[in-house]
Structure 1
């Protein structure tokens, strides 16, 4: 299990990755609506997860990361199903998803 300070550090990095993916998607007008919805949902969920992530409650932290990763999975699926996306968008979504998966693995 990661130390609370490590979890906090990883989460801060994850937030930056999600924000970057969100900015990248919002800058591209050809993004399919379902992909945009998942990215926005993830961004929102990440904001509300801040309090949980700074708590010492490992179960709630784990659940929170699981929820984020589930939304990340959907965003990645929507990205794969949408043909002809800009490479920057694909890279941002892939990076965000692997960060989420990695953090989830380390918490379980």
Structure 2
């Protein structure tokens, strides 16, 4: 293995350990709600926000429509816009526009 890959893997282990309890809790909640395993895996791969996943699972169980779930998910994740605006002054001028572009794609 590449030296940089191994170093990155070693630095990622604490993050992975931190995500494990949340992932297990989401799996248990989804199992209790009777969600199909393919949906749980797909939502974990597509949605990178634990709070949005838990919220969407609760809304789906109550029979909320798809568009309402999407809108609520966008609203929950809009907090990241405020966080990015607060941190933008720490970036260099050239890096700022590239960072903004990366955050929205």
Task: Give the TM-score, by structure 2 length.
Answer: 0.34
Larger Rg: 2
Q: Which has the higher contact order (CA 8 A, sep 6+)?
A: 1
